Structure 1
Amino acid sequence: MMHPEFETYLRRSDLAEEAVRKISDLAVARKLRRNELLFSAGEICRHKVFVVSGLLYTFNISAGGNQHILQFAPENSWTLDVESYDRQIPSQVSIGAVEPSTILCWQKKDFDMLLAEVPQLKKFAEGLIARNIHYSRKRILISLSATPEEKYEDFIQTFPDYLARLPLRMIAAYLGISIKTLTRIRHAQLQR
């Protein structure tokens, strides 16, 4: 079962047509409603997920009840809890839909088989992993050393289209700042 958007995405890589077909045949399409969870903390992440349309987010709720957003996954991106998926252990995070979303899912056994049978997919996956490591490293460095203003400036430069798609509370939860601080920063920018 093929989604044209996913097919276009895969064709931008070095994957052969037969590989694209194999990958697509094992995908299961699913629609998520706004605020619907793909899975919750405590459950095992059993699928590798490609976002065809919409926007997902990975988050954790602290003991104090505060939401901390680790990442967003817009259309044409992949998402999962790597540790839970790889080790098949309960996840420490939840993944949910910010807006109505269409996703493609692969069970671990199916994706592992694809990696073994399609060498180009393994190379493609390694490239995605490398990009995610670079992104995570940049995010950690900014989180540790940047001021709230610098965090927000980096956010709007890195994800300019997210401003219209996300409520302020989610942007604040991603940046690790209060909504009050975020509102102050945005107000100061408007004054410039």
Structure 2
Amino acid sequence: MPVVFKTYIQQQAGLSATETDQVYGLALQRNISRKGVLLQEGDVCRHKVFIAKGLLRTYRAKSDGSEHIIQFSPENSWTVEPESYDKSIPSAYTIDALEPCDVLLWTKKDFVSLQEDIPKLKSFSQHVISNNIYINRQRVFSTISSSAEEKYDEFIRQHPNLFARVPLHMVASYLGVSRETLSRIRNAQVSR
């Protein structure tokens, strides 16, 4: 069992060693190479994913080939494409690796079973979902109400360790601004 997962789940969810072993016992371990795809647009999302090492991104491509990143998932975080996972329908999004990743995956059936057996896991899972809803609502509000400079400042404040790990064009995509605008903002802040 990856030490990072054991530490995370025991500290964040308050699981005992036995409960942690039970959760880990149903996990599938997978290594994903840089640029490897975890979920391809059009496939059904069948797993909840914990990132033990590395960095994933979730994005949607438009017909013109442009990509719109909706989420970065670094180590010690979870990811899933919720609509596809919940409804067992083809995903409109792709999840791929920006760095080599070590992930743990649980099928829906196994994760539901674990939540039934371990009430603390169910409570923790609901907390993670609620927190993600809050973060996404804040992001929507920021997208429709903030200037490009404010979006950049918020990204740096919320994700201080990601900026050096993510190419500039992907940060621009995540913020919904052009690469040129983001470069201008960065240059203006550096020259202050």
- Fold agreement, TM-score > 0.5: yes
What is the number of residues matched between the two proteins? Answer: 191
Report what 2:10 is aligned to: 11
Which residues of structure 2 form unaligned runs of 5+? Answer: none
Report what 1:163 is aligned to: 163
CA distance in 1, matches of 2:4, 2:14: 16
Report what 2:185 is aligned to: 185
Deviations along 1:119-150, one digit per CA (max 9) or x if unpaired, are 11100101101110111111110011111111
The structural deviation recorded for 1:65 is: 1.5
Report what 2:48 is aligned to: 48
CA distance in 1, matches of 2:132, 2:57: 15
Q: State the one-letter code of the partner of 2:19.
A: A
Q: State the one-letter code of the partner of 2:30.
A: R
Q: State the one-letter code of the partner of 1:106.
A: W
The structural deviation recorded for 1:63 is: 1.9
CA distance in 2, matches of 1:37, 1:10: 25
Deviations along 1:68-112, one digit per CA (max 9) or x if unpaired, are 000111000000101101111001101000111100011111111
Which residues of structure 1 form unaligned runs of 5+? Answer: none
Alignment of 1:43-192 (within 5 A): 43-192=43-192
Deviations along 1:29-56, one digit per CA (max 9) or x if unpaired, are 1111111110111100011100000000
* SS of the residue 2:99 aligns to: strand
What root-mean-square deviation, in Å, do the aligned CA atoms of Structure 1 and Structure 2 show?
Answer: 0.8
* SS of the residue 1:163 aligns to: coil
CA distance in 1, matches of 2:115, 2:161: 33
Q: State the one-letter code of the partner of 2:165.
A: R
Q: Which moved more, 1:67-76 or 1:14-23?
A: 14-23
Deviations along 1:160-187, one digit per CA (max 9) or x if unpaired, are 1111101001100100111111111111
* SS of the residue 1:68 aligns to: strand
CA distance in 2, matches of 1:35, 1:177: 23
The structural deviation recorded for 1:16 is: 2.3
Identity, % of aligned positions: 45
Give the TM-score normalised by the residue count of structure 1: 0.97
